[in-house]
């Protein structure tokens, strides 16, 4: 054994360790300190938050369950707020569609407000089916 692991290896969803950490877990909110893992992978190991999975989701799109993680990822300057996945959804559209037991309305609202009010994301932008943020909320 070399004692090394391949941080670019992907799972069945095409997700690297960074994308898995960013996605959180609908069973345990941040029990495993996933936000800390994301920061470590980006800052210490140079993992790219713009890399996407098989569905075109980048780290920012997957991290919309955590306000501070969204702030962190945007602060790296490596996340395109207007990037779209294969459904044509931006991070904002992903945030309004959150429906997990640990992402209560206030958290979703805070992420949406952050993306719209502080980062200027466009709530009228539509996905490939013509849905905007209000339609998906």
pTM of the model: 0.89
Query: How many other C-beta atoms lie within 10 A of the C-beta of residue 67?
Result: 19
- pLDDT single digits (tens) 113-131: 999 999 999 999 999 999 9
- pLDDT single digits (tens) 13-51: 999 999 999 997 655 555 567 889 999 999 999 999 999
- State residue 101's pLDDT score: 47
Output the CA torsion 98→28→35→134 (10° steps).
10
Report whether pLDDT(104) > 80: no
């Amino acid at each position: 054994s070399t004692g090394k692991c391949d941080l670019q290896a992907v799972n069945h969803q095409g997700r690297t360790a960074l994308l898995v950490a960013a996605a959180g877990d609908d069973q345990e909110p941040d029990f495993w300190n996933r936000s800390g893992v994301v920061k470590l992978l980006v800052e210490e190991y140079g993992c790219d938050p713009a890399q996407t999975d098989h569905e075109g989701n980048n780290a920012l799109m997957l991290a919309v369950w955590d306000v501070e993680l969204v702030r962190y990822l945007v602060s790296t300057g490596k996340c395109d707020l207007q990037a779209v996945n294969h459904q044509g959804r931006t991070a904002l559209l992903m945030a309004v569609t959150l429906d997990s037991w640990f992402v209560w309305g206030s958290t979703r609202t805070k992420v949406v407000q952050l993306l719209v009010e502080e980062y200027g994301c466009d709530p009228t932008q539509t996905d490939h089916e013509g849905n905007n943020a209000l339609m998906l909320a």
